[in-house]
Amino acid sequence: MRVALFVTCVNDTLFPGTGQAVVTLLRRLGCDVDFPTAQTCCGQMHLNTGYLAEGRRLARHFADVFAGYDAVVVPSGSCAAMVREQYPKLARAASGGHGGHGGHDGHGGHGGHGTGGGPVPSGAAGGYEPRAGEPAPPAGESAEAGPRVYELSEFLLDVLGAEDVGAYFPHRVTYHPTCHSLRGLRLGDRPLRLLERVRGLELVPLPESEECCGFGGTFAVKNPAVSAAMCADKVRNIMDTGAEVVCATDNSCLMHIGGTLRRQRAGVRTMHLAEILAATEDPAGTAAAGAARGVAEDAATTAGEDGAVTRDDGATTGEDGR
């Protein structure tokens, strides 16, 4: 099986260790993994802020780059949902049909997590208008990419049938289901089933786990006080579990949560599901992955005085999903 890794913008830029963990894990399970270097953003942030033409071009590019692969694995529920849910709508809009609204559940931020945001301009969903000189691609081109795209836990369980991936992680862990993975992809208990089979791992339930962490891409920019309050509630529930690590399928949400955790000096780490599943009894590899994530998060985010997660330049972070 020829498998391609779509690493996503957030992971490639801030958390490359997550992409490396996916490759390590899939190769351990016998997959031939490629990383097409021509890959770019999936277009989620463009679509969700009303730039349909730009989003459409990126969707077409995605389809071109990943053509010919049996499966495309994405370590992000947000970006996987973009390809599976929004690409078909963009294709219908390009052919004059209906569809192509601004993100999952109409959210305006490129995280698209249960928190609202700015609408796509009126009438934009009704039809995509190519720019002058831009060829109108076949409508089904980008839509056909969707069925071959899998979020990591989907691929492990639904395609490979592997619940026990040979991981070892002797820590107390709680799992946060991000909104796109929960409501968009409907991953259900897939991540939990994988975590339950990790040797040494103690999995503890997260109270009110289905509540949004408050990130939501541009929602955190437009509504920073509400975003920070929602994250404070999430962090309080995480700390109540006594977990050493909070795990999720989206690094964008973990970045938001991690900023608040560090500001409160909670001593709780954030880790992507892939990093836990790639961990083995080799302490050097696991320690290196954790150190790399810590450096990336410290460089990428600081906590503002109101608790909102901000970049070092002071702007609230957004995500491509994610």
Please provide the average confidence, as pLDDT, over all residues in the chain.
79
DSSP 320: S
pLDDT tens-digit readout, 304-319? 444 443 333 333 334 3
Q: What pLDDT does 107 receive?
A: 36
Mean pLDDT of 15-39: 96
Residue 104 above 50 pLDDT? no
More confident residue, 149 or 300: 149
Which sequence spans correspond to the domains of the chain?
Answer: 2-151, 163-310
What pLDDT is stored for residue 218 in this prediction?
79
Q: What is the mean pLDDT of residues 282-303?
A: 55
For residue 91, the model assigns a pLDDT of 77
The two tokens of residue 318 are 């957004």
What is the reported pLDDT for 88? Answer: 86
| Residue type at position 175 | Y
| Closest-CA residue to 22 (of 255, 201, 277, 195) | 277
**Which has the closest alpha carbon to 215: 110, 285, 301?**
110
Q: What is the pLDDT of residues 174-195, one digit of tens each?
A: 999 999 999 989 999 999 999 9
Tell me the whole-structure pTM to 2 decimals. Answer: 0.78
Using only C-alpha atoms, what is the Rg of the chain?
19
CA 296 to chain centre: 16
Q: Are 6 and 72 a contacting pair, CB within 8 Å? A: yes
pLDDT in tens, 34-72: 999 999 999 998 888 888 889 889 999 999 999 989 999
CATH architecture observed for domain 163-310: 3-Layer(aba) Sandwich (3.40)
Residue pair 188/157 in contact (Cβ under 8 Å)? The answer is: no
Pair 175, 195: CB distance under 8 Å: yes
Q: 318: which DSSP letter?
A: -
- The answer to whether 230 touches 214, Cβ cutoff 8 Å, is yes
What percent of the chain lies above the pLDDT cut of 90? 59
Residue of 198, 305, 211 whose CA lies nearest to 245: 198
Residue 134 has pLDDT above 70, yes or no: no
Each residue's pLDDT tens digit, 75-102: 999 999 999 988 888 877 766 655 444 4
**C-alpha span between 278 and 18 (Å, rounded):** 9
Counting every residue written for the chain, the total comes to 322
The H or E element that residue 272 is part of is strand 269-272
Nearest alpha-carbon partner for 102 in 61, 58, 46, 146: 46
- pLDDT tens digits for range 146-161: 568 999 999 999 999 9
Alpha-carbon separation of residue 255 from 10, 217, 301, 318 (angstroms): 10, 11, 7, 10
pLDDT at 140 over 70: no
Q: What percent of the chain has pLDDT over 70?
A: 71
